[in-house]
Amino acid sequence: MNGDPVPGKYNALPIGGCVTVRTFTSESVTEGHPDKVADRVSDAVLDAYLEQDPMSRVACETLVAGNRMIIAGEVTSDGEVDAAAIARGVISSIGYDRRELGFDAASCEIEVHLGVQSSDIAMGVSEAEEVRGGGPGDEFDRQGAGDQGMMFGYATAETAELMPLPIHLAHRMAERLSSVRKSGLLSYLRPDGKTQVTFEYDAAGRATRLDTVVMSTQHDPEADRDTQLRPELIEHVIRPSLPAEFADDDFRTFINPTGRFVIGGPAGDAGLTGRKIIVDTYGGMARHGGGAFSGKDATKVDRSGAYATRWVAKNVVAAGAATKCEVQVAYAIGVARPVSVFVETFGTESVDPAKLGAAINEIFDLRPAAIIEHLQLRRPIYTPTAAYGHFGRSGPGFTWEQTDRTEEVRRALQL
């Protein structure tokens, strides 16, 4: 094996031409990151429509730059929503509530350009090809997919949440970074921030050591990196987030490596809905297909298909059928039934892969209308998903995280 990175698996660190360590890195960002501001506004607008009309179809995109925001997209709904007012509430709740930050809820200029969904798209969603073609169908055959493409879901026994360890820890550190800011414990912090975590892995794909933590966080001008930020972030954010088995590892720590991070958020960098899709999913440990999630209602299979495949993969791993599982589903726009379903278990399966694939097709209905009903996706549940990952989370809104089909999987596979 040479010193080149192993695609999709590990970063190889060559020394003298030989690979001595295999590592993998994932990142997360806080809710104050410009892209996440955009995601949260888009999801808050979606939730506002769903609260009034659960049958709403929404595709909402948000752009932030400087002290300006543009909200655009397509909506078909009986609800009436003041998107600008919702955006201001989101901006304030994140912590952009002072002019000195360069972006704030009160003075931000907001443009709204929300039109109506294309009738060509609406036709295929409202009446699927299976029904238009004259077939009898059932209630779940009546709704077609709202887009074409492929989506992936993934689960691994690496953590209790069945998520890859690097992205799971990066999320928890980012979440805690926001928490200590909002609680006032580290009141000099500002909303924008990013975390990055690197683990060493052995040849069997097991995490063996925490190698590096990188944390960049916006702060007040008077905060000193070396005497204040570094020791206090290690004490109050990094150390409390570490899993017990890695707490004593001798890992490297980089805090604000540039030395200063005062100008941040949309004042420092433009943000756009859907630009953090790897942060939103599995941190690069699994493949990503389709598109982004935020601002899209569940008729868009970019979102509902990705949620459903996570649900399938998680139930497979929770049932003990494999320790790693990746599921791909593909759709044709306007057609209810998937074009294909593919399952990969990376050699970790405890059953015949052909039987596992048959069991998945028998147990899980991946038609969009069936996904929406089974996972209760017409509710206003999406704003919390906009930061700290869509997967590996708990709470009543994260229905795709439930392992409610494990017994059926076990019975079908005789586990």
Q: Which of 27, 31, 35, 297 is catalytic?
A: 35
Q: Which of 97, 127, 269, 365 is catalytic?
A: 269
230 — phi, psi (to 5°)?
Answer: -60, -55
Using DSSP bridges, classify how beta strands 149-156 and 271-272 pair: parallel, antiparallel or unpaired. unpaired
Please, is 99 exposed, middle or buried when counting C-beta atoms within 10 Å of its C-beta (0-12, 13-18, 19+)?
exposed
Q: Which of 88, 172, 176, 194 is catalytic?
A: 194
Q: Is the CB of residue 216 less than 8 Å from the CB of residue 178?
A: no
Calculate ∠ Cα 197-202-208, nearest 5°. Answer: 50
Q: Which of 43, 302, 344, 401 is catalytic?
A: 302
Q: Which of 40, 57, 181, 296 is catalytic?
A: 296
Q: Which of 122, 157, 270, 332 is catalytic?
A: 270
Q: Which of 61, 158, 200, 280 is catalytic?
A: 61
* CB neighbour list of residue 311: distance below 8 Å, 6 or more residues apart: 153, 364, 375, 399, 400, 401, 402, 405
Q: Which of 33, 40, 171, 405 is catalytic?
A: 33
User: Where does residue 274 fall: left (phi above 0), alpha (psi -120 to 50 degrees), or beta otherwise?
Assistant: left
Whether 36 sits among the annotated catalytic residues: the reply is yes
Q: Which of 24, 103, 199, 261 is catalytic?
A: 261
Among 372, 313, 397, smallest CA distance to 144 is for 372
Whether 82 sits among the annotated catalytic residues: the reply is no
Whether 35 sits among the annotated catalytic residues: the reply is yes
Whether 275 sits among the annotated catalytic residues: the reply is yes
Q: Which of 53, 65, 74, 355 is catalytic?
A: 74
Whether 276 sits among the annotated catalytic residues: the reply is yes
Q: DSSP state, 205?
A: S
CA distances from 242 to 32, 142, 235, 340 (A): 23, 48, 11, 39
Q: Which of 57, 168, 176, 300 is catalytic?
A: 300
Whether 158 sits among the annotated catalytic residues: the reply is no
How far, in Å, CA of 312 to CA of 415, rounded?
17
Q: Which of 190, 276, 310, 337 is catalytic?
A: 276
Whether 182 sits among the annotated catalytic residues: the reply is no
Q: Which of 182, 275, 355, 378 is catalytic?
A: 275
Tokens of 310: 């996570």
Whether 61 sits among the annotated catalytic residues: the reply is yes
Whether 355 sits among the annotated catalytic residues: the reply is no
Looking at the chain, the number of H-run helices and the number of E-run strands are 12, 12
Amino acid at 295: G
Active site residues: 33, 35-36, 61, 74, 194, 261, 269-270, 275-276, 296, 300, 302
